[in-house]
Amino acid sequence: MEYYVAYLLMPCLLWWSINLLWRPSSWKFGYGGNRLPPGPRPLPIIGNILELGDKPHQALAKLSKLYGPVMMIKLGAITTIVISSPEAAKEALQKNDQLLCGRQIPDTIKASGHHAESVVWLPASDKWKQLRKVCTVQMFSAHKLDAGQLLRRKKVDELVSFVHQSCRRGHCVDIGKAAFTTVLNLISNTLFSVDLANHDEGSSQEFRNLVWGVMEETGKPNMSDFFPALRWFDLQGARRRISGYFSRLAIFGGMIEERTQVRASMIDSSPSNDVLDSLINLNESGELSRHEIKSLLLDLFVAGVDTSTSSLEWAMAELLHNLEKIARAHEELDRVVGGNGGTLQEPDIARLPYLQAIVKETLRLHPPVPFLIPHKAESDVEMCRFLLPRHTQVLVNVWAMGRDPSIWPDPDSFMPERFLGREIDFKGRDFELIPFGTGRRICPGMPLAYRMVHLILASLLRSFDWKLEQGVRPEEMDMTEKFGITLQKATPLRAIPMEV
C-alpha cells in the first residue's frame, strides 16, 4: 500500500509511539484493573496496520473469528475496537449510545474543514441536533416524502425512457451510471428544482467520479490518521486530492447566491418552495449560516447519491448473478402492479414482499458503509465485560455481521427468501441488519433511500428483462468489492435490456 513511504519518517516518532503503545494501561493486562478486549498482538510503532490489506472489512472479519466479536487493534497511535456481532452492536449503539456517539474524524475531512459544520461528522452537540432536525423537517418527514412522490415517479419514468431507447438500439446499459443519474437528479430537484445531469451526457459520470473520490479518500487507510504528527506531510497525497474534489463540488455556494438574488428581485412571483428556499428562510431568520447550509447540502448529495446508487447496482448484479430470482420478482410485480393499470406507484411497495426481501438481502451482503461511520468513546465505557478507554475509535463491522453463519445460514449466497415471513427490517431495530446504523447516529436519509431504491429497482424489473453483455455468463460475473467509506462494485455492471 502507498502508505509504506511513511516508514522513512518513523525513527523520529519512535519514542513517542512506544510511549503510547506500552504505557501502564498495557495491551494485555487491561486498564484500571479491567481487561481490555482481546486482539492480535501489535507490532511496535505501526501496530496492526499491515493486517488491514486493501479490504479492511474482510480482513477484520477474519480476525474477529479468532479474537471474538469485540476485538481490539492498534492502528499506529489509534486504539480501535472492532465490533462484529449483533449483541455487541446492541450494547454499543443502544445501551451505550450516549457515550459512544462521538466521531473519529479522518484527516481528509479535517483538511477540508467540512467536519466543523457537517451533520455527519459533528459531535452530538446542540449544533448537530439543530442540523439533524432541519434534515428531518425539511426533507425526510413523512409529509415531505409523500409530497415528493410525483417528482420521484417523473425521474424514474425518465430512467425507463432512457433504457427503452437503449433497448431499441441494442445498447448495453451501465446500471450504476444510469442509477446515479436518476438519484442525482431526484435529489437535486428536491433541493434546487433543477437537473444536474442527463442520461445521454457525461456530466453524471464526472459528478460520480467526484463523489466516489471523496468516499475513497475518506475511507481508505491513511498514515495521517494513524500518526497525527505526520498529517502536515500528507505522505499519501490524500489531503491534496480530497481538497481538489471538494473544490470541484463547491457548486452549492453559487446556487445559494443565485437563489438569494432571485428571491430579492421577486415582486409578485412565488418562491420555488423547495428545500433550498426553506434553508434560505432559516438563514434569513438567523437559524442557519450560509456555511452550515453549504455543508448540509454537501452531506445530502455525497452520502445520499452514493449509497443509494451502490445499493441499486449491487441489487441488479446479484439478480443477474442469480437469474431465477428475477423470474420470481417479475411474477410478483405482474400480479401486484398488473391489476393497477400497469403503473407502479410508491404505495405498491408495501404489497411487494419479495422485492423488499431482495433489497434486504442486498443490504445484508453489500452494506453501503461496511463499518458505518466511525464512532468514538467520549469517556471510558464499560461494555461486554471490557473497558473501552476514552477516545477509542469504534468500528461496527456490519459487513461481517451480514456474513456470519451463526446468524445467516449459507451466508455468502443471495437468498431473498430468507426474509419472507420473517419480521426483520433495516430501520435500526433489528441489530442483525443495521446497514444505516441505529440510535441517535442512524442515517437521517434512510426514509428517502428506502423509497428511491425500491421504486427504481421495481421499475427496472417491471419494464424490462435483462441479460448480461455478450459472452458473459452469470457464474463468470466479477463481484469484487472496491473499498472506501462505502462499498462499490469494482467492475461496473453492464447489462442489455429487453422488452417484456
Cβ atoms of 464 and 163 closer than 8 Å: yes
Residue 102, classed as helix, strand or coil, is strand
Q: Digits of tens for pLDDT over the chain (500 positions)?
A: 443 334 434 443 443 444 444 443 334 434 444 589 999 999 999 999 999 999 999 999 999 999 999 999 999 999 999 999 999 999 999 999 999 999 999 999 988 788 999 999 999 999 999 999 999 998 899 999 999 999 999 999 999 999 999 999 989 999 999 999 999 999 999 888 888 888 877 777 888 888 888 888 988 889 999 999 888 899 999 999 998 888 888 788 888 888 888 888 876 555 667 889 999 999 999 999 999 999 999 898 888 899 999 999 999 999 999 999 999 999 999 999 875 557 889 999 999 999 999 999 999 999 999 999 999 999 999 999 999 999 999 999 999 999 999 999 999 999 999 999 888 999 899 999 999 999 999 999 999 999 999 999 999 999 999 999 887 899 889 999 999 888 899 999 999 999 87
Q: Counting every residue, how long is the chain?
A: 500
CATH 1.10.630.10 at 2-499, yes or no: yes
- Tell me the longest C-alpha to C-alpha distance in the chain: 73
Question: Hunting for cell 493486517 — which residue is that?
Answer: 51
Instruction: Give CA 167 to chain center in angstroms.
Output: 31
Q: Can you give the pTM of this predicted structure?
A: 0.91
Looking at the DSSP assignment, which residues form a beta bridge with residue 31? 34
**Among 76, 129, 102, which Cα is nearest to 374's?**
102
Asked if 404 contacts 410 with a C-beta cutoff of 8 angstroms, the reply is no
Confirm if 431 and 86 have CB atoms less than 8 A apart. Answer: yes
